[in-house]
A and B are shown apart, each in its own frame.
Chain A
């Protein structure tokens, strides 16, 4: 069974750094891109960026470029999303999602989401 299991909820202060994780299992982790999606409270879905676990090639939405960093540790089948300096506006649920196939990039498998709360 394919699973993406994300790290738990975080409560942080503005200016702090944070890294959340997404561990894949039940499939060859390096064969499928992992994407990150933001959902602010009561709002819609926003694509943030993606990473190819085989070689760490990454792409970002212009809206998130420079503010977050995606990475992977393929030895433990885990993808990461990192902030260097959080803002209150980063308060949201963050999902990781795996593409269906290398030739079809719809998001077939999703993590359960990680709630990040940023407040002074």
Chain B
């Protein structure tokens, strides 16, 4: 079973700053099967990135995904007030899915 470890657990930044969130897999995974989600309090998660680097429909271009193998990143180039939320990475493949434990992005 692939384990995804996200870091940091909490990231404190100010609007306008750049955020870099990390997701490390316990074994190499195909980039085709790595996704990122945003979840705000009391809401269902929202797909941001699929295939490690492709933005889902309607997602602003300040969100970008990258990485390969075991190390993946979600970058938010310039934080907007609405970006402060919890972010999860997810691996999907071989009929099993795994989520990371999440990174909370909070306002500094």
A residues with a Cβ closer than 8 A to B are 35, 37, 44-47, 50, 59, 61-62, 95, 97, 100, 104-108, 110-113
- In the docked arrangement, what's the CA distance between A97 and B11, Å? 27
Contact A44 B88 (CB under 8 A): yes
- In the docked arrangement, what's the CA distance between A100 and B46, Å? 12
List, in ascending order, chain A residues with CB within 8 A of B1's CB.
62
Contact B45 A110 (CB under 8 A): yes
B residues with a Cβ closer than 8 A to A are 1, 32-33, 35, 37, 39, 44-47, 50-51, 56, 86, 88, 90, 92-93, 95-102
List, in ascending order, chain A residues with CB within 8 A of B46's CB.
110
Within the complex, what minimum Cβ distance (angstroms) separates B52 from chain A?
10
List, in ascending order, chain B residues with CB within 8 A of A47's CB.
90, 96-99
Within the complex, what minimum Cβ distance (angstroms) separates B46 from chain A?
8
| Nearest neighbor of A99 in chain B, beta-carbon distance | B92
Of the candidates B44, B47, B50, B98, the one whose C-beta lies within 8 Å of that of A111 is B44
Contact A59 B50 (CB under 8 A): no
Given A45-B88, A47-B97, A59-B95, A95:B47 Cβ within 8 A: no
Within the complex, what minimum Cβ distance (angstroms) separates A22 from chain B?
12
Of the candidates B37, B39, B44, the one whose C-beta lies within 8 Å of that of A112 is B44
Of the candidates B32, B44, B97, the one whose C-beta lies within 8 Å of that of A35 is B97
List, in ascending order, chain B residues with CB within 8 A of A113's CB.
44
- In the docked arrangement, what's the CA distance between A37 and B97, Å? 10
- In the docked arrangement, what's the CA distance between A68 and B77, Å? 41
Contact A104 B50 (CB under 8 A): yes
Contact A107 B35 (CB under 8 A): yes
Given A105-B33, A106-B35, A106-B90, A59:B47 Cβ within 8 A: no
